[in-house]
Chain A
């Protein structure tokens, strides 16, 4: 739960950081796009039944780490910010929310290609 709350804060931080740290262009666009998406996935992952949605933030965090090289960021603040935020987001995405609730086997029960196993 706390890990997802941190990722929500990091997503909001990404939305605000181009204005706060003073950069624009492609780096600002990346942060403006990924910030709301990261925060949204983290909000959805707050619910016990959809907690696995936090995994969607793993590739997004990873992309933030490598984007400064791939997209040739020029602003030092933007480079440091995206690498740092990306590492944190990726790390916290792996923290699975504990729950005492039971969901009838969860989403894997309705996944059409699931292998039959009895848990």
Chain B
């Protein structure tokens, strides 16, 4: 048996939990975190200007809009926090985590998916409500949307595993939290 093939899910041609699959996502999460942190420093008035090469006072308009102040924390700070969750969700677990710890894979999927959705929503609001664009907000949105597709293959592998667990009449609850005895019964 090939060593590198031992964690490949049944019926798959590769292992979606391989580091070669996960490291690019972790790098993207850090990149998004850097952008969002910079923007939240501006929103928290720690820095007084924001970098805007293309759209004039667009970034200033967007980052001071009422939408960015709906929550008690600035929206960019919330974005930065979400990117941390993405990075943590990408790092935790071995290359067999799609079956040894489905909970972290599902958590990762839930961190990446909605973050991308909210980013797109915020991109839509920029021109529709405020008639302005914010370069770095767009860059952050691109990062979070790019992460969705590559993150979902691992989620799929975990869901397929849980489906096999169910078909074998083994506790899905135990499988979800990665009990070792389940791992030995269902492959």
List chain A positions with a Cβ less than 8 A from chain B: 15, 18, 28-29, 32-33, 36-37, 39-40, 43-50, 53, 100-107, 109-110
* B interface, size bucket: 20 to 34
Instruction: Say yes or no for B123: interface residue by CB 8 A criterion.
Output: yes
CB-based contact B163/A109 at 8 Å: yes
CB-based contact A104/B11 at 8 Å: yes
Contacts of B11 in A (CB 8 A): 102-105
Residue of B nearest to A51 (CB): B149
> Whole-angstrom distance between the alpha carbons of A8 and B163 in the complex?
34
A15 with B160: in contact, given A40-B145, A44-B149, A104-B12 (CB under 8 Å)? Answer: no
CB-based contact B156/A33 at 8 Å: no
Q: B147 to chain A: closest CB distance in Å?
A: 10
Residue of A nearest to B163 (CB): A110
Could you jot down 30 A-B contacts, CB within 8 Å? A15-B127, A28-B127, A29-B128, A36-B141, A37-B120, A37-B124, A39-B145, A40-B120, A43-B148, A43-B149, A47-B148, A47-B150, A47-B153, A49-B149, A49-B152, A50-B149, A50-B152, A53-B149, A101-B13, A102-B12, A102-B13, A103-B11, A103-B12, A103-B156, A104-B10, A104-B156, A105-B160, A109-B163, A110-B156, A110-B163
Contacts of B128 in A (CB 8 A): 29, 32-33
Q: B161 to chain A: closest CB distance in Å?
A: 9
Would you call the interface of chain A mostly helix, strand, loop, or mixed? helix
Q: A99 to chain B: closest CB distance in Å?
A: 9
Segment 116-144 of B: residues with Cβ below 8 Å from A:
116, 120, 123-124, 127-128, 141-142
CB-based contact A46/B149 at 8 Å: yes
> Whole-angstrom distance between the alpha carbons of A102 and B160 in the complex?
13
